[in-house]
Amino acid sequence: MKRHRSYDLIAAGCRVVLGLVFLAAALLKWFDPAGQSTYYGNFAHTAPAFGWAIVAGELLLGVWLVTGFRSRLAAATALFSLSLFSGAIVADMLAKHPLPCGCFGAAWEAAHSPAAIEHALSIGLARDVVFILLAASVLIFAPEPRGSHLSESESPTGDSALGSSGA
CA-based radius of gyration for the chain: 20
pLDDT score, position 17: 93
pLDDT score, position 62: 95
Q: Return mean pLDDT, the chain.
A: 74
User: 155 falls in which pLDDT band (50, 70, 90)?
Assistant: very low
What is d(CA 7, CA 137) in angstroms, rounded to the nearest whole number?
Answer: 9
pLDDT score, position 60: 95
- Per-residue pLDDT of 97-124, as tens digits, reads 666 666 665 545 554 566 777 777 788 8
What is the b/e burial string over 116-154, where b = at least 16 CB atoms within 10 angstroms of the residue's CB? ebeebbeebbebbeebbebbbbbbebbeeeeeeeeeeee
- Per-residue pLDDT of 67-98, as tens digits, reads 999 989 999 999 999 998 888 878 877 877 66
Domain boundaries, the chain: 5-141
pLDDT score, position 74: 93
The whole-number average pLDDT for the span 52-64 is 90
The whole-number average pLDDT for the span 32-61 is 69
User: 144 falls in which pLDDT band (50, 70, 90)?
Assistant: confident
Could you give the angle at which helices 71-94 and 49-67 cross, rounded to 10 degrees? 140
